[in-house]
Amino acid sequence: MVADGYDDVEGDIVSRVRSIVGVDCVIGVELDPHCHITLQRIKEANITILYKEFPHTDVVERAEEVLTLVLRTIRGEVRPVSSVFDCQQLGSYRTTLPLMRALVDDIIALEGQDNVLSISIGHSFPYGDVPELGVRVLVITDNDKVAGDRTATSLGARLVAMRGKTMPEYFEVEDGVTQALTATAWPVVVADPADNAGGGAGSDNTTILRSLIAHDAQDAVIGPLWDPIAVQMCFTAEVGGRFQLRFGGKTSAASGVPVDAWVEVVGLARDCYQTLGITRDSLGDCAAIRIGGIEVVMTTHRTQALGLELFTNVGIDPRQRKIVVLKSNNHFAAAYEPIAARVMFIDADGPMVSDFSKIPYTKVGRPLWPLDAETSPKLIL
């Protein structure tokens, strides 16, 4: 988390907990890999473990590891010591793609060997403008700093060598939509990472939708589009209602312009949720509308696409559609890759830009690739 006036919220929380419980109490912490592995939080906690998977499907397993290690530490069976390597780089590290998949499989195999208790890769959150931004490797050993430093350095060097090779191909809007329309195997699942509410976007950008409408796309669905006012109007109109609706394109300039269209309400459901692994994510009230051959699922909670329930809640089976457009960066992959004939990424004009050099940073520590070509990755703990 980054809050106004707090660049390291979790570090602050862990420090305050430490000041309450004292130096002898064992503190274990589980975090999302899109956190920032600041030295404050690592030094103040005894054990920090991040999820390894992105999509984050291993939240429970990692929590069990934290608990197990805390209990072993309390019993005096192990003495956790942390090593941290700073790769001085930014990137997106989807564990569904080959290089990162291999790295995660390897670190799982390394745990338990050479006194290594746990290995975490901190992807960091590139849209957070904080001094300790960047990819870091955290290795916890059983009181073997030399082995921890060696493993962290080796894995850090491997991540440095992976620079620029961990992202999927991104398509321009017209090119991507045309490819999806001319596919011969379906469904084609199209992600809109730039409008990912999980990263802070409005989830109401209309650029890809307007391109689908302009091409008169058939059997296409898109969601979740955040527009509580439009959802309310659809509930008033009821299923089957047809009316002129202005929707989407509201949150900011990066939302594009609203869509004006004759719509038919085709599905309504209250208090919906979707799932990612065992995580339940609220969608709020949902309304599905149809414009020609395109269905749009609108929500009252601003969130990204995770589970198939996003569509099935309102009576749409995404497996029966040709094009499924999802506002999400990567978490959608857990549920949608298994049903997709092809997964594509379209780089639209939402606020979550894929080119980190376009982000107007003011606080980040430099050097930092790709902002800087020359860096000096190194052990920092």
**For binding to Zn ion (CB under 5 A), which residues are involved?**
32, 34
Given the complex with Zn ion, which of 34 and 62 has the nearer CB atom? Answer: 34
Given the complex with Zn ion, which of 34 and 36 has the nearer CB atom? Answer: 34
What's the min distance (Å) between Cβ of 215 and Zn ion?
Answer: 33
Given the complex with Zn ion, which of 51 and 369 has the nearer CB atom? Answer: 51
The answer for 142, left when phi > 0, alpha when psi is -120 to 50, beta otherwise, is: beta
Q: 336: closest CA among 291, 345, 284?
A: 345
Given the complex with Zn ion, which of 12 and 32 has the nearer CB atom? Answer: 32
Q: 163: closest CA among 104, 88, 66?
A: 88
Q: What DSSP string describes 23-70?
A: TTS--EEEE-TTS---HHHHHHSSEEEE---SS---HHHHHHHHHHHH
Residues 6+ apart with CB under 8 A from 318: 187, 221, 308, 311, 312, 324, 336, 339
- Per DSSP, the three-state class of 207 is helix
What's the min distance (Å) between Cβ of 34 and Zn ion?
Answer: 4
What's the min distance (Å) between Cβ of 330 and Zn ion?
Answer: 9
Kindly list the strands in the beta sheet with 80-86, ordered across the sheet, starting from the edge strand earlier in the chain: 116-122, 136-142, 80-86, 378-379
What's the min distance (Å) between Cβ of 355 and Zn ion?
Answer: 20
Given the complex with Zn ion, which of 287 and 333 has the nearer CB atom? Answer: 333
CA distance 140 to 115: 9
What's the min distance (Å) between Cβ of 51 and Zn ion?
Answer: 7
Closest CB to Zn ion: residue number? 34
HSE toward the beta carbon, residue 37, CA cutoff 13 A: 29
Given the complex with Zn ion, which of 80 and 126 has the nearer CB atom? Answer: 126
Main-chain phi, psi angles of 66, to 5 degrees = -60, -50
What's the min distance (Å) between Cβ of 184 and Zn ion?
Answer: 34
What's the min distance (Å) between Cβ of 372 and Zn ion?
Answer: 25
Given the complex with Zn ion, which of 2 and 239 has the nearer CB atom? Answer: 2
Compute CA 204 distance to the chain's CA centroid, rounded to the nearest angstrom.
17
